[in-house]
Each structure stands twice: as structure tokens, then as C-alpha cells.
Structure 1
Amino acid sequence: MKHPFSRLFGLGEKELPIEKEMVDERDEIKKIPVSHIIPNRFQPRTIFDETKIEELARTIHTHGIIQPIVVRESDENQYEIIAGERRFRAIQLLGWDEVPAIIKNLSDTETASIALIENLQREELTPIEEAMAYGKLLEMHNLTQEALAQRLGKGQSTVANKLRLLKLPEEIQEAILQKKITERHARALIPLKDPEKQIQVMNLIIEKGLNVKQAEEQVVKLLTVVEKPKSKRRAISKDMRIAVNTIRQSLSMVSDSGITLDSEEEEFEEYYQFTIKIPKKKS
């Protein structure tokens, strides 16, 4: 059975099945030593729920493995997981020496695509892991966001919103991974642009337990604060000081002669300005 993603991602007629569709009745199931198996280097999932792995291990202990894992030959006498890493981790937990597996001959691109799509279909990835998976698929298959969205059956805005999360500071991405803040909280921080302000509001969200609306209000406050521009006073050169003092002395001499002066002195960033008013005598 050909998986639809084999054509969607331009991978020819080779199978790109996910889970059951990956296994053909003609495939030979072999017992492979657990010590000879390595994780999928393209695995998008960075956090595995240990509780669920333990539950799966108990199920496997009671009922055995209903479906073998799928691997490909890596280095000599080593096999890289293509699909079934949760089952593999459960088997490790049980302390089994061997695991039933089917060996497939797939390229890096095919292996990576399967790992990414398999996890995307499960809908168990964190928003950051999902965003990273989208980014890798875009890069591997040289697609636009619109094309990727169409091939995954998702809206373009969904893909775009996920990818925007990758522009946030690492501290915020890690907070999403650890589920300290939600995706909607993180998206509320994007308009701030300034990483320091984004982290500042994120910390406030965590400390105060702010909901999304309250987080958005904090962002609006920061965006509407208008900072007064600080005047930059330039150092006055020796010649400038002499010129300014000469004008002041001249004005003082005129005043001492009995002529009424109305003068105003202003300092600007680029220059000094003297405004002098000499009233006319009435005839």
C-alpha cells in the first residue's frame, strides 16, 4: 500500500508509510539485539512522557509487541529506528535483550520525513516540536509554507503561526517545551520584538499565573509606552566656548552702556542660539 506522502513530498514510488501502512505482509520480521539499535537522529520529539512509556511497557509485558518497530541499517551491525521509538523505549525499560523489527532501506530524507510526519499525525508534539518539524520539512523538500500546509492538510495560517514561535528567544521556547506557558501566551509576546521585553512578560506570566488576555494587556502597555528621547549633549570645543563667552561679554558691555537688551540663549544638539531684541527709542 503506497502512502500518500510518498507522492506529496516527491519521494517517488518508494513507500513512505506510517505505522501499520509501513509494514508489508511480505516483510520479514527479525529479532535484533536492543544494544544494536540507536534512536532516530531526525526524531522531532524532545520530551517523552515517562508515565506513558511505563504504561506501554506494562501493556507489552502483558500482551507482547503487536507490531514490530521499523529500522534501517546504519553503521556496521547497528540499526537506526525509523518508527516505533516509544515501543523501543518501553522494551528498554522492560530489560529485554531483543526486539522484533522490520528492516527498511530508506534514505535520510525519507527517514526524516517519516519521523516528522508520524509524530505530526499523532498530535502529541509540543508547539515548538511541531514548529521544528515544519521547519525541517520545508528545508528538506524546498517547499513554501503554503505548499507544506496543502500537503499536510492544514491551514497556511496554522503553519505560519507555528513557525513564528521559532523566532522567540530560547528561554521562551524552552518554557513552551516545559509547558510553563501555552502557545497562545507565546504568540501574544511576538509583537514586542525586543527579546528582553518578551522574556520580561513571560516571567510575569509564570510568576503571576496570567491568562492570555492579561498577557496581551501587558504587551499592549509596553507597546504604548513612549520613551522621552534623551538629549545628547555634545562636548563643547575650546573654540566654541570662546565664541559663546565672547558673545555673552559683548551683550554685557552693551547692557552696561545703558542700552536695554532682551536676550535669550538656547542650547541645541547641533548649535547654540542667541536671540537678541533691542527696543527702538521712541522719537
Structure 2
Amino acid sequence: MAFSFFGNQKNKNQKATNQVVEVDVTKITPNRFQPRKVFEPNAIKELAETIQEHGLLQPIIIREFEPNKYEIIAGERRFRAVSELQWDKIPAIIEKMNDKETASLALIENLQREQLSSVEEAQAYRSLMELNHLTQTALAQGMGKSQSAVANKLRLLKLITPVQNAILDRRISERHGRALLELNEDQQRDALMEIVNSKFTVKQTEDLVAQMTGKPRPQDEAPVTAVKPKKKRAKKAKGLTADTRVAVNTIKKSVKLIRDNGMKIKTRESDEDDHYEIVIEIPKQK
């Protein structure tokens, strides 16, 4: 993983690798910029048991933010495990860093070593971009990832908070969340309740979203129980000629492209006797 867009941070870390000291656990506080929102108690307990048996093989990294007070830069899981073991001191490397450097290194350390949820990863990407004034392309290059991979993660932050929390809590998967990106906020909220309560698979979720948006589903898939939309669904197109189907599909693809770029638009469809009607409402930009 590249560190070039954080200046000379890599060199500073290399100089401090042998400066391990014992620091009172009570003088250390968690990192304010920690991207991980959920710490599994069982995982911390297992880590504590491993440390109890084999010792702490890698010191944590901290900085002194006030006289004799320290903040964790990297190693919060190890710190939590040691605290559970009620150790008085913990091996640590003390770095000199400002808030920006601390936040950036903490984010990178977690992205590199921790199994973050997809939402936590997206939040970490956004924080790195804001802290270091990076574009998606620059961040992707620095992280050794493709720009599309970074962009796809960041799109999850367009989901409403309850859906993001459901991904954080592992109640639904990232793929469930991606399917819900096509829905507006009210629809996401309704769909989330149905998915969690009925324990929908990803495919069932995609079918539900298709029903709520009025999109046709593959004919060979079994129907699922869907939340009734607040607005009456438009009828599916019937008896369209080949040219008409091409025109309708082209418009639908354009609508999806607009939605994928973050604009909230509304559509209504109806199959009339002599024509197929599509109404698109595009909000005026403020």
C-alpha cells in the first residue's frame, strides 16, 4: 500500500521502529479518528487469550497529545485486549504527529490490517480524501486500488443511515445495500424492514427493488413478498414493437445512469392503448 500522498510519513515511521517503551495503560486513550465503529467482543476476548499465552508480539503506536497523555494511532484492538487482561503497562512506539497525520495513519492502518465492513471502508476512504484533499483517482492510486473499486465503495454512503447501520451490524450484506441504492429514502426504509424481517437473500432483495421501482423481473424467477409502494405501480409494458422496446429500454438506461450519478429523479410509466408513456421529473438544482 502506497504512502506517497502523505508526505514523508513513511520515513518518519522507519526512524521510530526501535523506540519501544512501556506506557501506563491508564494514560492512553482511543483514537478519535478510528474508522472501525464495531469491535466484536468475542474477537477481542480471543485476542486477549492469545496475548496472555504468547505475549504482545507487536507494540501499539501512540502520540503524546498532552503532557503525559497519549492517543492511539495504531493498535486499538491490541489495546482493548490488554485492557481486558488488566495489564498496567503496554509496549508502545511514541510518534510525533499532528491531527491530520494521526488520522491518516490510523485510517491506513485499519484499511491495511483490519477486516472493516464495507461501510467502514467507505467512510475511511471519504475521510482520507477530505483530510488530504484527494480526488478519487489520487486516493485509488495511493491505496493501490482501481478508481472504480473506490467509487463503488463510496456509493454506499448514499444509503440512508439505518441501511448503513444494518451493514455495520452485519444484519445485511454489502450486496443487499448495493441493491437498495436504486430506491429513494422512504423506499429504502420500507425495504430494509422487509429484508431484515423476512431474511431476504440478495436475489430476493433485487426482486423487491425491481417491484418497488416498476422494473420488469426475469420471468424464470419466483416472486417474493414485497412492500407495497406508497404510490400505485405503473403497469408493465405489453405488446411493444421491437423499435418501441429499444426506445423504452434506452430511456430506462438513461434514467439509471442519472440516478447512479446521485440525482434523485422520479419516473412514472403507463401502457396506454396507442402509446407507452414515461414521465420523468427532474428537480431543479438549487
TM range, smaller chain: 0.7 to 0.9
Q: 1:31 aligns with which of 5, 22, 43?
A: 22
1:92 equivalent to 2:88? Answer: no
Classify the secondary structure of the residue corresponding to 1:176. Answer: helix
Alignment partner, residue 128 of structure 2: 137
Alignment partner, residue 237 of structure 1: none
Q: 2:199 aligns with which of 197, 202, 209?
A: 209
Classify the secondary structure of the residue corresponding to 1:99. Answer: strand
Instruction: Give the 5 Å matches for 1:82-161.
Output: 82-161=73-152
The AA in structure 2 aligned to 1:128 is V
The one-character-per-residue Cα deviations of 1:81-102 (angstroms, maximum 9, x if unpaired) are 1111111111100111111211
Alignment partner, residue 189 of structure 2: 199
Q: How many pairs are equivalent?
A: 219
1:219 equivalent to 2:219? Answer: no
The one-character-per-residue Cα deviations of 1:239-263 (angstroms, maximum 9, x if unpaired) are xxxxxxxxxxxxxxxxxxxxxxxxx
Say whether the 8 Å CA contact 2:2–2:143 is kept in structure 1.
no
Q: Distance in 1 between matches of 2:103 and 2:94?
A: 16
Displacement of 1:10: 3.8
Alignment partner, residue 55 of structure 1: 46
For structure 1, which runs of at least 5 residues remain unmatched after alignment?
Answer: 230-283
Q: Normalised by the size of structure 2, how large is the TM-score?
A: 0.71
Displacement of 1:179: 0.6
1:78 equivalent to 2:74? Answer: no
Q: Distance in 1 between matches of 2:78 and 2:15?
A: 15
- Aligned CA RMSD, in angstroms, stands at 2.1
Measured at CA, do residues 228 and 124 of structure 1 come closer, stay the same or move farther in structure 2, by a change above 3 Å? closer
Q: Distance in 2 between matches of 1:197 and 1:13?
A: 45
Displacement of 1:23: 5.0
Q: Distance in 1 between matches of 2:122 and 2:149?
A: 10
Classify the secondary structure of the residue corresponding to 1:32. Answer: strand
The AA in structure 2 aligned to 1:24 is T
Say whether the 8 Å CA contact 2:2–2:144 is kept in structure 1.
no
Displacement of 1:76: 2.3
Q: Normalised by the size of structure 1, how large is the TM-score?
A: 0.72
Q: Distance in 2 between matches of 1:155 and 1:37?
A: 37
Q: Distance in 1 between matches of 2:33 and 2:111?
A: 13
Work out which of the two has the higher radius of gyration on C-alpha atoms and give 1 or 2: 1
For structure 2, which runs of at least 5 residues remain unmatched after alignment?
Answer: 215-228, 235-286
Classify the secondary structure of the residue corresponding to 1:74. Answer: strand
Measured at CA, do residues 99 and 228 of structure 1 come closer, stay the same or move farther in structure 2, by a change above 3 Å? closer
Measured at CA, do residues 204 and 78 of structure 1 come closer, stay the same or move farther in structure 2, by a change above 3 Å? same
Say whether the 8 Å CA contact 1:73–1:103 is kept in structure 2.
yes
Alignment partner, residue 15 of structure 1: 11
Identical counterparts, % of pairs: 49
Q: Distance in 2 between matches of 1:74 and 1:167?
A: 34
